[in-house]
Structure 1
Amino acid sequence: MPYALLAAAIAAEVAGTTAMKYSEGFSKLWPSLGTVAGYLLAFTLLAQTLKTLPVGTAYAIWAGVGTAAVAAIGMFFLGESANAVKLAGIALVIGGVVLLNVGGAH
């Protein structure tokens, strides 16, 4: 159950960040409200996750997967450039999350 809450927190954060892109500096109402709602839900779910998961593990997964997902959304749906350096950066973020989790298992 904690990983399902964490996945939902990540999805809410990614949705909030994507809405922020469309808010145009918080000058558009609906995307701005989507940003606020996404982040409120993300932090609420993350807080619930932290009741059962270690903070280092939960935050590493939340931040790493969220970062990789937002970068991928930018490249695939928002017309941002995709190149070997960016893809390597995403791979390093994911690798770092994996290493933190493996290191925390001992």
Structure 2
Amino acid sequence: MHWIYLLLAILFEVAGTISMKLSAGFTKWQPSALLVIFYICSLVFLTLTLKSIQVSVAYAIWSGMGIVIITLVGFFYFSENVNIAKAVSIVLIIVGVITLNLTSEHPEQQPAAASQSNK
């Protein structure tokens, strides 16, 4: 369930960032209100994620995948330019998120004594 919470946190963060762009500096009330709602939802789901996933891993995935998705939205929806440096940077973010996830300790893999001392 924690991965679903993390996915929802990412999607709400992306929706909040899109709303931020559409709010035109808080001059349009509808996207401005949605911005606040989406970011609150994102933080709620990120907080629920942290009950099961280490903060370093969850935050890296949340922010990294948010950057990747919002870059794609910017390119396809807002017609922003993409150059080789941006493309390589996005690939490096994805590699970093995957590497961090693969090399991190998962709570279910920690010894029983370690998990008891964390309570």
Q: Which of the five TM-score ranges fits, normalised by the shorter chain?
A: over 0.9
- What letter corresponds to residue 40 of structure 2 in structure 1? L
- What letter corresponds to residue 40 of structure 1 in structure 2? I
SS at match of 2:82: coil
Pairing 1:84–2:111 present: no
How many angstroms apart in 2 are the aligned matches of 1:93 and 1:52? 23
Alignment map for 1:1-106 (pairs within 5 Å) = 1-105=1-105
- What letter corresponds to residue 93 of structure 2 in structure 1? V
TM-score (norm 2): 0.85
SS at match of 1:80: coil
Q: Deviations over 1:41-61 (max 9, x none)?
A: 000000011011111111111
How many angstroms apart in 2 are the aligned matches of 1:105 and 1:50? 14
- Runs (4+) of structure 1 exceeding 3 A deviation are none
TM-score (norm 1): 0.95
Alignment gaps of 5+ in structure 2: 107-119
How many residues matched? 106
Q: Deviations over 1:51-99 (max 9, x none)?
A: 1111111111101100100011001110100121111111011111112
- What letter corresponds to residue 84 of structure 1 in structure 2? I
Alignment gaps of 5+ in structure 1: none
- What letter corresponds to residue 54 of structure 1 in structure 2? Q
How many angstroms apart in 2 are the aligned matches of 1:105 and 1:55? 11
The RMSD of aligned alpha carbons is 1.1
How many angstroms apart in 2 are the aligned matches of 1:22 and 1:79? 14
Q: Deviations over 1:19-48 (max 9, x none)?
A: 100000111100101110110000000001
- What letter corresponds to residue 53 of structure 1 in structure 2? I
- What letter corresponds to residue 69 of structure 1 in structure 2? I
Q: Sequence identity, in percent?
A: 42
How many angstroms apart in 1 are the aligned matches of 2:59 and 2:66? 10
